[in-house]
Structures are given as C-alpha cells and as structure tokens.
Amino acid sequence: MTAPLTNSLGTLLVSGADARSFLQGQLSADIDTLTSTRPLPSSCNSAQGRVQAVVWLVERSEGIALILPASLTESIATRLRKYVLRSKVRIDAWPAAIELPEGHPYREPDWRLAGIRAGLPQVYPETHEAFVAQMLNLDLLGAVSFDKGCYTGQEIIARTHFRGSIKRRMFRFECAGPPPAPRTRVLVGEQHAGDVVDAAATRDGCELLAVISLAQQDAELELESNRGVRLKKLPLPYALDGLSG
C-alpha cells in the first residue's frame, strides 16, 4: 500500500512528436539537456519575463512530465495550449503522483522545508508573475539557458543577465513565529525591502525564502505579518554571484 508524498504538487504531461521543440520555445531551460536520469528545473514566463511557474521536467516514456504546484496546473496548461498551433503536441493533466511506502516519515512539511534549505524557489498563485527568473536564483540553478535561442520571456531575462541589472535576489532566513504566506512583504522599518517566496515551519519557528533588495539584504528585516521579530539570514548551498548567501 502506498501514500502520496504531497497533495500540493500536480503534473502536466507534454507528449507528441514535437514535445521537445515545443517546450524549447516555451520554457527557460535548455530542453536538449534533459535526460531520463536527472530532472531539469525550468520556468514558464510571461512575455514580459515574469515567472508564471517554476517547473521540474522529468523525461518519461509517455512524454515529458512537468511537475509544479497543483494550484497552477490548470492555468499553465491553458497558457501552454495557446502556443501549440500546428505543433504535434498534447498537453494533459497527468494523474501520476510521487508515492512512498505507507508510514514513510517525509510528508508535505518536510518536503517543503527541504526545498527551502536547498534554496529551491517555488511560485504559487500569490506570486504568479511577481518575479523575473534571476530574482528567484533560477539562473544559478541551471533553470535558465542564455545560449539556446528564443523562448517566451527570453528578451527581458537575457537583457537583465547581460546588462548585469539585477537588483534583487532570493535569500534564506529563519525567524520566530508561524510561516508567512507567499508574497508577504518584508520590511526595513516602514520601507518595503522584498517579498516572501516560500516558507515552512520548524521546531523553533520557521524558515523562508524571500526576494530582497541587494542593498537591504543585511538590514534589520522583519515580516509585515510579524512586526518586531527580526529575520536571521541563513546560508544557501550555492553562491549568489559573489555575494555571501
């Protein structure tokens, strides 16, 4: 008997003879690097370069599976279908779920916390089109290719990269209190310094990822939802373009 690892994730299956070339023109990662042995992170973006969803691509015999929050599967499927046109592609909701043996200790809170500690961003309905890819460190995670050619949102993402104009990055923090909702504002005094990306409870409070102005990353930050409680900056397992994580 098995039980789902998490109910918060959904899956889309992109299948057909043109599945790879279609996704190459829609997602930020280089689909040609996808293999059956390793998932590939990527993002689906608006024409203005704003991230609509962070997806993990998994090659299957049936096609290419896109794993993303269940709350976004319908809207992302609708968005991708608009670009199918004459391509030999099908985009379907896929009922397959990641499963573990009954009684396995890891469930939704553990999975979410592990992602935060790994510095892996997620986008939810609250943060749909709130960030460009570099703000979420997706370029540092192999989720953005600057060599593969055009895809939806590529012009803005590439311009940000080549001009070196990124002014906000995602950092990891801990604080006392319950985990804040995505898009909760992070403040320095009364000034808006950034926004929460994701958060999960810990034994002593919570850990979170937040996109913060680089100029304010070491300031006295606090959540708008929990005033008076300071955020403590924690390291990420990867370098932030020469900045300390």
Condensed to tens digits (0 to 9), the pLDDT of residues 156-175 reads 999 998 888 789 999 999 99
CATH of domain 167-234: 2.40.30.110
Alpha-carbon torsion angle 28, 40, 74, 120, nearest 10: -90
| pTM confidence score | 0.90
What are 213's strand-pairing partners? 168
**Ranges of each domain in the chain:** 2-160, 167-234
How large a percentage of the chain has pLDDT more than 70?
Answer: 90
pLDDT band at 9 (very low <50, low <70, confident <90, very high): confident
Among 100, 118, 105, 98, residue whose Cα is nearest residue 198? 118
Provide the token pair at 213: 């102005």
End-to-end CA gap in the chain: 42
Q: What pLDDT is attached to residue 27?
A: 98
Condensed to tens digits (0 to 9), the pLDDT of residues 13-59 reads 999 999 999 999 999 999 999 999 999 999 999 999 999 999 999 99
Sequence length of the chain is 245
Segment (H or E) for 81: helix 73-81
Q: What pLDDT is attached to residue 5?
A: 44
Higher pLDDT, 95 or 224: 224
From edge to edge, which strands make up the β-sheet containing 222-223?
222-223, 185-188, 191-202, 205-213, 168-175, 232-234
CATH of domain 2-160: 3.30.1360.120
Instruction: Give DSSP secondary structure letters for 95-154.
Output: ----EEETT-S--HHHHHHHHHHTT-----GGGTTSSBGGGGTGGGTT---SSS---TTH
Condensed to tens digits (0 to 9), the pLDDT of residues 170-203 reads 999 999 999 999 999 999 999 999 999 999 999 9
Which residue do the tokens 């080549």 mark? 162
